[in-house]
Structure 1
């Protein structure tokens, strides 16, 4: 028979082993909880811009291990699609394809015109949307277009006398882009940033901006939504942004003291906000 001493020794060893196993498991779980949660961001640019405006934000997010897709809309940037392909439905289809190209949910981000696009897209594939983020973005209610909201801006910066349209009204651009683009979109940007945006300017298709959105308000209400205000904005006034946020029922907001394109002029601030949404 075992002595009392041997029995106590064996029991002590069992307790010690169990304690080590529990501690190891706890450490693994704690490490996993503290590990960064890598996300997929889908970024949608606005009018008179293209995917290149997200370059710095994309690079910084990728350094943190996140997957980033910057969508190039039809007729913008390097995309050579025919003007007829630049429709709201086709924009939405392209963003949807980007979302469906990855497993799991995404954080969908839209700027300016991109706000209208992500609104329509997210309500079509709500199960794929983790968070919906507007950066100085339009948020049209169903049945309304971007143009409808733009007309309600009490302090519009983009006025008819600044614009040039062809006889068929298929596109719109600026009469003096070297002045208008920096003033309206990148007042706080560097000389190099302003020149890059002017250099990449292409006439903007008008049809998507005049097309009313069609979606289920209940689906939209159920999405996790955020808005980033740009208080020095001259393209969409801060007041107009506040009006849209209130009407859309968005309660979670951030503020950047910047002009219309903070992802160019202040990318670190935009990245900080987006990283906060991954926690």
Structure 2
């Protein structure tokens, strides 16, 4: 090849290499950005009855590690809160959740477990513009005019109602023989250590919120973000069949399953967090 021909082709080779390097760099940057620049909405977690915010500890830790801002709501009358049972209302639960949501200047992902499902239902109907997604984890979804107690009594296969024991003034609902019944009802698939943990944290439940009917318009609830349901298929508290019934009534078609008892954040935390993260990225 003549020297002049070599010189005439060299620029073309250089340009080709430049384009190849540029394309590779862009592609690599694009892949990286897909993982790191996806908009991550804040997450608000609401616990259920006979439990408290501590049940979400591992879920909160894992979601924060994945880059999410997370708030775990502490419902009045639960955990370390000393509000007298007769002063605890269902609306107080809702107001506490709304307070957590309003700390963010954008719509949130609202997740509720068990009783927390009823709380997020009412909340979403009251401030639908602040909800991006609503995720139920074995959560109650009472229709307007119905209470959690109404729905619990409808679930005839549940082990919970026969185990309830009211205080003398009927302001508290306890679990009879909690050392035995609490693990059986709420976490039969947990390890012995996990069961003991739940028993050690046990506290009777205020009854007034359980018997308070929800009060909302269906159109407001429907406007409160896209809805998802995570079924717990081995649940002794809210049975799988009843969970399916509630999801169908609420017209929730985005459903997932986890083979666990009523407390997957305890017995199968990693699996639950994976499901939640999958939903968050949709």
Q: TM-score range by the shorter chain?
A: 0.7 to 0.9
Q: Which residue of 2 aligns with 1:185?
A: 186
The reply to whether residue 250 of structure 1 matches residue 252 of structure 2 is yes
Aligned partners of 1:78 and 1:243: how far apart in 2?
Answer: 34
Q: Which residue of 2 aligns with 1:265?
A: 267
Q: Is the 8 A contact 2:173 2:204 kept in 1?
A: yes
Q: Is the 8 A contact 2:45 2:71 kept in 1?
A: yes
Q: Which residue of 2 aligns with 1:241?
A: 243
Q: Which residue of 1 aligns with 2:206?
A: 205
Q: CA deviation at 1:39?
A: 2.8
TM-score by length of 2: 0.87
Q: Which residue of 1 aligns with 2:6?
A: none
Q: CA RMSD in A?
A: 2.4
1:1-279 equivalence runs, <5 A = 31-35=32-36, 36-160=38-162, 162-222=163-223, 223-279=225-281
Aligned partners of 1:186 and 1:134: how far apart in 2?
Answer: 18
Structure 1 segments of 4+ aligned residues over 6 angstroms from their partners: 22-30
TM-score by length of 1: 0.88
Q: Is the 8 A contact 2:167 2:174 kept in 1?
A: no
Q: Deviation string for 1:152-208 (max 9, x for gaps)?
A: 113121133x22212221011012000111000010111111111111111100000
Aligned partners of 1:51 and 1:143: how far apart in 2?
Answer: 27
Q: Is the 8 A contact 1:134 1:226 kept in 2?
A: yes
Q: CA deviation at 1:232?
A: 0.4
Aligned partners of 1:215 and 1:240: how far apart in 2?
Answer: 22
Q: Deviation string for 1:207-230 (max 9, x for gaps)?
A: 001101111101212331000101
Q: CA deviation at 1:27?
A: 7.4
Aligned partners of 2:277 and 2:32: how far apart in 1?
Answer: 19
Aligned partners of 1:155 and 1:240: how far apart in 2?
Answer: 9
Aligned partners of 2:33 and 2:169: how far apart in 1?
Answer: 58
Mind listing any 5+ residue stretches in structure 1 that lack a counterpart? 1-11
Q: Deviation string for 1:49-71 (max 9, x for gaps)?
A: 00000011111111111111111
Aligned partners of 1:176 and 1:262: how far apart in 2?
Answer: 22
Q: Is the 8 A contact 1:154 1:239 kept in 2?
A: no
Q: CA deviation at 1:37?
A: 3.2
Q: Is the 8 A contact 1:227 1:253 kept in 2?
A: yes
SS at match of 2:280: coil
SS at match of 1:42: strand
Aligned partners of 2:79 and 2:238: how far apart in 1?
Answer: 22
Q: Is the 8 A contact 2:125 2:222 kept in 1?
A: no
User: Which deviates the most, 182-191 or 220-229?
Assistant: 220-229
